[in-house]
Amino acid sequence: MSEANVPAVVLAAGEGRRLDPLTNRRPKPMVPVANRPILEYVISAIADAGIDRVVLIVGYRDERIRNHFGDGDDWDIDIEYVVQETQLGTAHAVLQAESAVDGPFLVLNGDRIVDSSLVERVRDEIVDADTSPVMSVTRTGHASDYGVVSLEGNRIVDITEKPTEPVRSEVINAGVYGFDGAIFDAIRETPTEHGEMAITTTLETIASEEPIRAIRYRDVWLDVSYLWDLLNVNAAVIDEFDDSGAELDGAIAADTTIGENISLGANATLGGSVAIGDNVTIEANAVVSNAVVFSDAVIEAGAVVRDAIVAENARIGANATIAGGESTVVVADEVHEDVELGGVVGDNATVGGGTVLDPGTVLGDGAVVDPGATVSGRIESDAIVRRG
């Protein structure tokens, strides 16, 4: 098979529960970073690598993905959709593509941003070499959060997914793979863990029998696992990729990306690392910095929004404060300390005027906070928070 005919299978079926409430109405790959869905960066990298056929494995809220990407014409690629009816893990997701591919193919995570150069290198390796799997690896200071990889030269000899013991290696699975049809039989032999089949479990088994070829990668590698990661990745993407902006009144930092139809009031300030979606209103004297503001949100006069995520159609009342700073955040019974997250305001939520959100506060979709209240912790969707 020629390089041009190698398809890319993109895993985009998952919900992303750790990003609740942002994933209540959209799948994780459709969460915006610098005003573009995460998945769009993945699709662009594939297209830039010269691959013209993509198989998107979709499931949860798949209509959001289909409506945005359509048949792929906007990226000069052909997109085919395959539904993973029940999300039973990454290996199970790859298995859904069996009837859609013939010969070598790539697999990418739909929620991880990489450079097109990595896609090219994995594609070239799976075409030019033998049939054993290819797996990309990179380095991170938070290796224990991912699949830790042991190498002998350019061969992977062991993979440990999210190890509980202290790790010596900083080399992790970068999430771009090259496979051929043999992977499907290997997946069928993969044991389930907590009801799911993970592709890393499949590869662990293969690595115990034969070395897996490694592609070392040191360029852009961005992952959104938790809410606060969205702020970090947004800042990195604006710095790395984005050159958009707008001529508006008010003070706007250079590292800011602005959508269409924005209303910015007199003396409003947009600090650094800010993404403002389409149709957003920011009234006079408001201050927004290190923030992601989704489309159709409203930030009223004098409000302060720092280290925060304001979701679609949410409203921050006049003189309300999300002061920002470090906090302790609990996600699925895991305690994360020293997290830089001022707050998250879910879709259609309303923060009353003069309200204060303590660092780490997460408001669910449709939640309403009365004017003048002080809020902390996690507030359920559609809850009403009264003052006092």
* CATH number of the domain located at residue range(s) 235-385 in this protein: 2.160.10.10
Q: What is the pLDDT of residue 253?
A: 78
Strands (E), 243-342: 251-252, 256-258, 263-264, 269-270, 274-276, 281-282, 287-293, 298-299, 304-310, 315-316, 321-322, 326-331, 334-340
Cα angle value 360/224/201 (rounded, 5°): 125
pLDDT at 152: 87
Judge whether 3-223 and 235-385 match in fold: no
Domain spans in the chain, listed from the N-terminal domain onward? 3-223, 235-385
pLDDT, position 66: 98
Give mean pLDDT in consecutive 10-residue pieces for the chain, a chain of 388 residues. 80 95 97 98 97 97 98 97 95 97 96 96 86 88 76 86 68 93 94 87 88 91 95 94 56 87 95 96 97 98 98 98 94 90 98 98 98 96 92
Q: Quote the DSSP letter at residue 17.
A: G
Q: What is the mean pLDDT of the chain?
A: 92
CA 279 to CA 313: how far, in whole Å? Answer: 10
pTM for this one?
0.94
> Hey, what are 54's tokens?
């993509």
Tell me which amino acid residue 50 is.
G
**What is the distance between the alpha carbons of residues 271 and 73, in angstroms, rounded to a whole number?**
36
CA 85 vs. chain centroid, Å, equals 21
The pLDDT score that the predictor gives to residue 102 is: 92
Q: What is the pLDDT of residue 141?
A: 74
Architecture of domain 3-223 in this structure: Alpha-Beta Complex (3.90)
Q: Which helix (H) or strand (E) holds 116?
A: helix 116-128
- 69 CB neighbour count, 10 Å cutoff: 23
Q: What is the pLDDT of residue 239?
A: 86
